């Protein structure tokens, strides 16, 4: 299901990413399958940049690892501004 990209909210990158998934419809009581979440690669880069800006300078490298481990993934076949949630 294609959904609009939610606005990031949270005081750190992990909280913001978990809120991002929750705003897409993820139930926090169920396992998160970030491989089922796909967005346009340009939107993915923007999301990464936004998450990096939330973190203090010394923790910014960890944001890259967070995105690798928790997704979402990028694919140019997805419409800009949308997230594909494969449930």
- What is the residue extent of each domain of the chain? 2-85
**Taking the CB of residue 57, how many other CB atoms lie within 10 A of it?**
7
Structure tokens at 24: 């897409």
Query: Considering the entire predicted model, what is its pTM?
Result: 0.86
pLDDT tens-digit map of 41-81: 999 999 999 998 887 777 777 887 888 888 899 999 999 99
Distance from C-alpha of 16 to C-alpha of 51, rounded to nearest angstrom: 7
> What phi-psi label fits residue 39: left (phi over 0), alpha (psi between -120 and 50 degrees) or beta?
beta
Q: Quote the pLDDT of residue 32.
A: 83
What's the sign of the alpha-carbon dihedral 35, 76, 18, 51?
positive
Pairing, β 37-39 against β 73-74: parallel
Give the relative orientation of helices 60-70 and 41-54 as an angle to the nearest 10 degrees: 140
């Amino acid at each position: 299901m294609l959904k609009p990209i939610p606005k990031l909210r949270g005081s750190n990158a992990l909280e913001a990413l978990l809120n991002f998934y929750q705003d897409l419809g993820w139930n926090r009581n169920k396992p998160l399958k970030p491989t089922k979440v796909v967005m346009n690669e340009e939107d993915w880069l923007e999301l990464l940049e936004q998450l990096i800006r939330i973190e203090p300078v010394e923790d910014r490298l960890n944001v890259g690892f967070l995105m690798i481990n928790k997704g979402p993934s990028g694919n140019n076949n997805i419409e800009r501004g949308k997230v594909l949630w494969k449930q």
